[in-house]
Amino acid sequence: MRTNYCGAINTGYLGQTVTLFGWVHRRRDHGGVIFIDLRDREGLVQIVCDPDNVETFQVAEKIRNEYVLQITGKVRKRPEGTINTALVSGEIEILVATIEVLNPSLTPPFLMDDDNISEAVRLEHRYLDLRRPTMQSNLRLRHKVAMAVRVFLDQHGFLDIETPMLTKSTPEGARDYLVPSRVNAGHFFALPQSPQLFKQLLMVSGFDRYYQITRCFRDEDLRADRQPEFTQIDIETSFLSADEIMSLMEGMIRGLFKTVSNVDLPDPFPRLTYADAMHKYGSDKPDLRVPLEFTELTDIMKDVPFKVFREAAEKTDGRVAALRVPRGGELSRKEIDDYTSFVAIYGAKGLAYIKVNNLADGVEGLQSPILKFLPEETIKTILARTQAQNGDLIFFGADKTKVVNESLGALRIKIGHQHGHAESGWKPLWVVDFPMFERDEEENRWQALHHPFTSPADGHEDLLETDPGKALSKAYDMVLNGSEIGGGSVRIHRQEVQSKVFRALNISEPEAQEKFGFLLEALQYGAPPHGGIAFGLDRILTMMTGSESIRDVIAFPKTQRAQCLLTHAPSTVDEKQLRELSIRLRQVETKPS
CATH code of the domain in which 444 resides: 3.30.930.10
Same domain, 214 and 146: yes
Please check whether residues 413 and 433 belong to one and the same domain.
no
Q: Domain residues for 389?
A: 290-418
* Residues 39 and 19 placed together within one structural domain of the fold: yes
Same domain, yes or no, for 86 and 159?
no
Same domain? For 346 and 300 the reply is yes
Neighbours of 6 (CB within 10 A): 28
Report the C-alpha gap between 490 and 237 in whole angstroms.
9
Query: Which pLDDT value is given to residue 371?
Result: 95
570 preceded by a cis bond (ω within 30 of 0): yes
Residues 6+ apart with CB under 8 A from 129: 117, 122, 123, 135
Distance CA 224, CA 85 (A): 35
The span from the CA of 31 to the CA of 33, in Å, is 6
DSSP annotation of 459 reads T
> Do 281 and 409 form a contact (C-beta atoms < 8 A)?
yes
CB 193 within 8 A of CB 164: no
Residue 570 placed within a domain: no
> Is the domain of 224 the same as that of 172?
yes
> Which segments in the chain show pLDDT lower than 70?
171-173, 222, 224-225, 589-593
Task: Determine, yes or no, domain membership for 54.
Answer: yes
User: 297 and 390: one domain?
Assistant: yes
H/E segment holding residue 490: strand 483-490
- For the stretch 321-357, pLDDT in tens is 999 999 999 999 999 999 999 999 999 999 999 999 9
Do 441 and 522 reside in the same domain of the chain? yes
Collapsed DSSP state (helix, strand, coil) of residue 314: helix
Q: Is 419 exposed, middle or buried (0-12, 13-18, 19+ CB in 10 A)?
A: middle
Examine the domain organization and report whether 209 and 299 are in the same domain: no
Query: Residue 508 in 3-state DSSP?
Result: coil
Q: For residue 384, give the H/E element and its range.
A: helix 376-386
Does residue 356 come out as left (phi exceeding 0), alpha (psi in the -120 to 50 range) or beta?
Answer: beta
| Helix H or strand E encompassing 489 | strand 483-490
pTM of the model: 0.93
Residues 506, 533 within the same domain? yes
Cα(516)–Cα(532) distance, rounded to whole angstroms? Answer: 19
The interaxial angle of helices 133-155 and 537-545, nearest 10 deg, is: 130
The C-alpha atoms of residue 92 and residue 10 are separated, in whole angstroms, by 6
Phi, psi of 72 (to 5 degrees): -130, 135
Domain tally for the chain? 3
d(CA 109, CA 159): 45
Q: Residues within the annotated binding site for L-aspartate? A: 172, 218, 450, 491
Residues tagged in the binding site annotation: 172, 218-220, 227, 450, 484, 491, 536-539
| The pLDDT value given to residue 31 | 78
Q: Is 401 exposed, middle or buried (0-12, 13-18, 19+ CB in 10 A)?
A: buried
Q: Which residues contact 124 (CB under 8 A, 6 or more apart)?
A: 565, 566
Q: Which residues are part of a known binding site for ATP? A: 218-220, 227, 484, 536-539
532 lies in the same domain as 433: yes
Do 355 and 397 belong to one domain?
yes
**What is the 3-state secondary structure of 120-163?**
HHHHHCHHHHCCCHHHHHHHHHHHHHHHHHHHHHHHCCCEECCC
Domain-located, residue 137:
no
Distances (CA, A) of 435 to 94, 457, 471, 508, 554: 64, 9, 6, 22, 33
